[in-house]
């Protein structure tokens, strides 16, 4: 089931009644309600939103994520369930006991899938992706040669050339990095939610290791999904015929399509939100010794 994404940009009071999320919009004087079980993501952007504890508890009980934004209206925090899987302890043990060879193999699969999706995006906009396919075939266990970085350098050079901008990919770089950053934050929440539901510890990655990052595993698994966000940003810029300097509310709403984007995974067409669930389940199967293959999406 595709879950709803609720995006709040106005002052509001959120509370629960009869398993419904009641939304009182202060400025409009109107009230709306949404079944809690239908909600997958809640994005709180306005600084004048009041949320009751029952809202938080109900959303967590239904495996929904709450994405909080700072005073600059950029995602700054993610609240989600600690454990929504009935065999959580067993699966965490498998994850913690995963061997280095297994993790290196999983990272190789992740990098190969990412490069191939980047290549597919370049091909779709008429750019030669031959080097990308060659590099994908050269990735070794654990990507010891750092082929990912080599491919990324070529990919972003061509990506920004296509947009006719001298910008480069940097978190604090000029537009369209603002669009990319916001889209990746949404993607990270989608992936984190799926991993949590599958019984994984988000802070224990297969490649990313950072004592300040509680979402290392999500940052690993989301890599092959990033080109889907890149495609959305390309579409936005193409429609506007210019790179927007400001990340407006309207643009953010356009980026909220990310969880419902079409993907092809294991030969089946599937919304991105569902694809991340299949990817997460395949990762757990690898940790448990049931499989050696991660299921990652392909761009249509």
Phi/psi at 22 (nearest 5 deg)?
-95, 125
Give percent helix, percent strand, percent coil of the chain, each to the nearest 5: 50, 15, 35
CA distances from 255 to 209, 229, 235, 267 (A): 28, 8, 10, 26
Find out whether 124 and 90 touch, Cβ atoms under 8 Å. no
Phi/psi at 115 (nearest 5 deg)?
-65, -40
Virtual torsion, Cα 221, 227, 232, 237, nearest 10 deg? 140
Q: Who contacts 249 (Cβ-Cβ below 8 Å, separation ≥6)?
A: 9, 45
Q: Please state, as a whole number, how many other Cβ atoms lie within 10 Å of the Cβ of residue 71.
A: 7
Instruction: Please state whether 289 falls in left (phi above 0), alpha (psi between -120 and 50) or beta.
Output: left
Instruction: Please state whether 246 falls in left (phi above 0), alpha (psi between -120 and 50) or beta.
Output: beta
Q: Is the peptide bond before 254 cis (omega within 30 degrees of 0)?
A: no
β-strands 268-271, 297-298: how paired? unpaired
Residues placed in the known binding site: 148, 208, 223
Q: How far apart are CA 80 and CA 64, in angstroms?
A: 7
Residues placed in the known binding site for Mn(2+): 148, 208, 223
């Amino acid at each position: 089931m595709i879950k709803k994404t609720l995006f709040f940009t106005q002052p509001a009071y959120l509370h629960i009644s009869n398993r419904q999320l009641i939304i009182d919009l202060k400025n409009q004087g109107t009230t709306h309600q949404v079944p809690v079980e239908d909600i997958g993501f809640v994005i709180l952007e306005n600084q004048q939103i009041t949320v009751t504890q029952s809202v938080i508890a109900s959303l967590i009980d239904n495996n929904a994520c709450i994405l909080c934004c700072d005073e600059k209206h950029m995602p700054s925090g993610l609240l989600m369930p600690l454990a929504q899987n009935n065999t959580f302890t067993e699966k965490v043990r498998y994850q913690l006991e995963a061997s280095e060879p297994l993790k290196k193999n999983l990272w190789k699969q992740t990098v190969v899938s990412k490069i191939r999706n980047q290549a597919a995006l370049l091909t779709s906009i008429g750019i030669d992706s031959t080097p990308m396919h060659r590099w994908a075939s050269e990735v070794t266990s654990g990507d010891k040669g750092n082929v990912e970085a080599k491919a990324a350098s070529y990919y972003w050079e061509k990506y920004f050339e296509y947009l006719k901008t001298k910008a480069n990919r940097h978190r604090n770089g000029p537009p369209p990095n603002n669009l990319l950053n916001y889209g990746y934050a949404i993607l990270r929440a989608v992936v984190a939610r799926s991993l949590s539901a599958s019984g994984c510890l988000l802070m224990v990655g297969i490649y990313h290791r950072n004592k300040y990052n509680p979402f290392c595993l999500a940052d690993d698994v989301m890599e092959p999904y990033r080109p889907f966000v890149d495609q959305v940003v390309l579409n936005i810029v193409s429609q506007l015929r210019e790179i927007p300097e400001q990340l407006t509310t309207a643009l953010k709403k356009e980026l909220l399509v990310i969880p419902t984007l079409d993907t092809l995974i294991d030969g089946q067409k599937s919304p991105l939100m569902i694809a991340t669930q299949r990817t997460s389940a395949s990762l757990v199967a690898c940790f448990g010794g049931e499989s050696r293959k991660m299921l990652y999406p392909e761009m249509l």
